[in-house]
Amino acid sequence: MMSDPAAPVSTVWAHHLGHWPDRTEVEHLQRLGFAFPTIEDQNEWIVGFLILDDRLESMAVVYATRSMTDAGIDFELRAAGRPPDRATEIRSEIIRFVESGAGFDSFDDEIARLWQLSDEQLLQEFGAHLVRGTRDDQDSEQDLRRRAQNWFATNRADLQDLICGNPDVQDLAKSPEGVARLADLLTELLSRTTVRGVAVYLVKQGLDKLCSPTGIVDPDN
C-alpha cells in the first residue's frame, strides 16, 4: 500500500531572540528537546532543531537559525500539514523565552533575595559557605567576611580570566537580570550553592573594579 503523498512544507510560526543564547539558555532549550550540533560553527546557518514529527507526510521541525538582521537567533516551525499538539506548548515556551530578555527563569528567587543584602552580608554568607563543615565553621562574622575577601584576593586572576575578556558578560552584568548568566560562568571556580552570591557581589561592586589593576574587594571596616 502506497503512503500518502507528502504535504507541502510551510512556515507555521516564527519568533526572534535578539541576542545570542548563552550556555544557560542553551541548556534550557535542550531540556525542551532542542539539539544544537552546530551552534559553535560560525559558518552554519541552522544551528539547532527540535523534531516534533519525523514522518514524511506530517513532518514538523522547529529550527533555530542565525538571524540575518542582528546577532540573535530565529525560531521557526516548519511543518507539512497540521502540526502535532506539542507544537503549541513549544511555541508558548519560545515566546516566554524570547520576551523575557534574560531567558526563562534566570532571575530566580534566590538572586532576588541576595540582591537585597548589603556587601557585608554577602561577604559573610560567602565566608560561611567557605568554612562550612570545617573546624572554622564557628568563626565570627568579621572572620567570615575576611575569609571571603581573602578568597577574592587569591582568585582575582582566575576571575579576571573568566570575566574581563568577555564583552557579553560585561554588558549582561549591568543589571540584576544578568547575574544568573554571570553565576553560570562562575561554576568553573565554585559550587552552584555559592555562585549566585558571588555573582551578585561582583555586579554590585562593579565589574570595572574587578578588571582594574587595583583590588576588587573593599577593606572590611
Shared-domain flag, residues 60 and 126 = no
d(CA 5, CA 170): 52
Find the mean pLDDT for residues 170-189. Answer: 72
Backbone dihedral angles phi then psi of residue 14, each to the nearest 5 degrees? -150, 140
User: To the nearest whole percent, how much of the chain has pLDDT over 70?
Assistant: 81
- Range with top average pLDDT, 78-82, 193-197, 204-208, 209-213: 78-82
Span 2-59, pLDDT tens digits? 445 556 888 999 998 887 887 778 888 998 899 999 888 878 899 999 999 998 888 9
Distance CA 205, CA 215 (A): 11
Total structural domains in the chain?
2
pLDDT band at 103 (very low <50, low <70, confident <90, very high): very low
Contact in structure between 182 and 172 (CB atoms under 8 Å): yes
- The three cell numbers of residue 153 are 584576593
pLDDT at position 219, please? Answer: 47
Q: Higher pLDDT residue, 59 or 104?
A: 59
Is residue 217's pLDDT more than 60?
no
Taking residues 48-72, report their average pLDDT. 89
How far apart, in whole angstroms, are the C-alpha atoms of residue 99 and residue 95?
6
Rounded Cα distance, 192 and 106, in Å: 14
Structural domain containing residue 75: 9-99
Residues 86 and 120 occupy one common structural domain: no
Same domain as 113, residue 204: yes
Residues 61 and 129 in one domain: no
Q: What is the identity of the amino acid at 206?
A: G
Q: Is residue 1 part of a domain?
A: no
- Residue at which a domain ends, from 80, 99, 118: 99
User: Domain boundary at 43, 67, 99, which?
Assistant: 99
pLDDT at 130 > cutoff 90: no
pLDDT of residue 65: 94
- What radius of gyration do the chain's Cα atoms show? 22
